[in-house]
Amino acid sequence: MDRLAGQIGGTPSHGRLHPMVEPFDQRQLDVGDGHVLHVEQSGNPDGVPVIVLHGGPGGGCSPYMRRFFDPGHFRVVLFDQRGCGRSRPHAEVAANTTQHLIADIERIRRELGLGRVILFGGSWGATLAVAHAEAHPEAVSALVLRGVFLGRKSELDWFYGGGAARFFPDRWAEFQSVIPESERGDMIAAYHRRLFSGERGQEIRHALPWLIWENALAGLEIAGPGHAPPDYARAFARLENHYFVHGCFLEDEQLLRDRHRIEHIPAVVVQGRYDMVCPPQTAWQLVDGWNKAELRLVPASGHALSEPRIAAELVRVMDGLRDAARPPRRAGEGI
């Protein structure tokens, strides 16, 4: 889940975004199975490594995502997951599972010589961060998560089974309108039949309402787009639907069940109080009893990365990690 990443201005102090920087490295990484990933690095080549995990599945990265990190301190790695963004082949679901993505993160980490990394991810990116950390706890130094989604049936039922529709009946009606009434009991399956029909025109026609339903609920202070480039919408909808049809390629409750594997890792969770895409209950369940995890519930905020209070809190978290790593000044030292 989570495609939206708008632009917010500001300076890097007091929780505002850092200045835009250009990557110092961009490459196409062949990870096998016919997939080639777009990978970029920005910030300090010798800095603390952070791997950013975008939402969706299928959302892709945006230059905006570089702005959450002090470029003088962090070495920031962004990559487009299989099948989306600038990775190829576009909209491809073959050899595209959670386990493949976990292996891709490890491949990137080793290829770039990153050592232990901070994983920074929201929505589906939070799912993937937790899944990777549980599979490779030795590779992760910290987790910074937003709008937590754990890939469970109960969460998918909330969003695609009528729960969120109680708050957005107009948007839900639009989402259902392209599906015959006889198939509306399982909207994920109904859309799957059309997004994978093999007829490109039909796939694109059904990709946009899939994307609009999610983005319409993403934020309190921003509106989701009513249109998107057809190829982008098709890739996003196909990949997300593919993962959801398969239960995100996780056992139900797996990530909570295996949380003991990562309870030694510090984590901060930034969660919108009024997140309608990924309600706060999931974030609460993830951190409850995890002594090294902190939940920051952000008032008057929803789901999207680009919501002002959400963005500001994430920058505060990363600036806090930066400041905690700096040696204290000695008496008499200048500012």
Same domain as 194, residue 274:
no
Q: What is the largest CA-CA distance in the chain?
A: 76
CA distances from 178 to 29, 55, 145, 148, 187 (A): 38, 25, 34, 29, 10
Residue 8 belongs to a domain: no
How far is 30 from 53, CA to CA, in rounded Å?
18
At residue 234, the pLDDT reads 97
Same domain, 46 and 102: yes
Phi, psi at 67, each rounded to 5°: -85, 5
Residue 24 confidence class, pLDDT cut points 50, 70, 90 = very high
58: domain CATH number?
A: 3.40.50.1820
- How much of the chain, in percent, has pLDDT values that exceed 70? 91
| Span 298-322, average pLDDT | 97
pLDDT at 325: 86
Judged against a pLDDT cut of 50, whether residue 147 lies above it is answered with yes
Same domain, 63 and 159: no
Amino acid 116: pLDDT: 98
**Residues catalogued as catalytic:** 123, 275, 303
- For the cut 60, the answer to whether the pLDDT of residue 177 exceeds it is yes
More confident call, 228 vs 191? 191
- Band of pLDDT at residue 244, cut at 50, 70 and 90: very high
**pLDDT at residue 3 in the model:** 55
- d(C-alpha 73, C-alpha 93), whole Å: 36
Domain boundary residue among 206, 227, 247? Answer: 247
75 shares its domain with 123: yes
Same structural domain for residues 161 and 142? no
Range of the domain at 242: 155-247
Distance CA 218, CA 4 (A): 7
Given this model, what pLDDT does residue 9 score? 36
Higher pLDDT, 329 or 244: 244
